[in-house]
Amino acid sequence: KAGVTQTPRYLIKTRGQQVTLSCSPISGHRSVSWYQQTPGQGLQFLFEYFSETQRNKGNFPGRFSGRQFSNSRSEMNVSTLELGDSALYLCASSFKSGGSADTQYFGPGTRLTVL
């Protein structure tokens, strides 16, 4: 089985631009979660989607948004980029949702640099 894939792996943008990151979960997985990883703040939960519905959201501004498609693939969008948005964005998929402690499988991440 193929693992979680994220595209692109690296991205460079300038302040004020917007960006869309993509995540393809493991086949059969219906839950996709997104995390931001920075040296200063560590790993922070952004949001989780399950069957095309956002189930939970972390403490991020509205500039961060996401969606999930019927094939479980997910995208996250960041509008009006700020320097502080530079981070590794990780996507994780699992079969179940709802606090089941189902194992999350992480992708390699997208490294976003904002200049």
Check binding of 101 to another protein (CB under 8 A): yes
Check binding of 43 to another protein (CB under 8 A): yes
Residue among 7, 8, 6, 10 at smallest CA distance from 112? 10
CB contact at 8 A, 92 and 106: yes
In the complex with another protein, the residue whose CB is nearer, 16 or 84, is 84
Residues listed for the chain: 115
Min dist. Cβ of residue 84 to another protein (A) = 18
Check binding of 74 to another protein (CB under 8 A): no
Q: Which of 87, 94, 112, 114 binds another protein (CB under 8 A)?
A: 94
In the complex with another protein, the residue whose CB is nearer, 24 or 33, is 33
Q: Which of 13, 30, 55, 73 binds another protein (CB under 8 A)?
A: 55
Contacts 24+ apart (CB under 8 A), 80-84: 80/16, 80/18, 81/13, 81/14, 81/15, 81/16, 81/17, 81/18, 81/19, 81/114, 82/15, 82/114, 83/15, 83/114, 83/115, 84/114
- Residues forming the site for another protein (CB under 8 A): 4, 31, 33, 35, 42-45, 48, 55-56, 58, 90, 92, 94, 97-99, 101-109
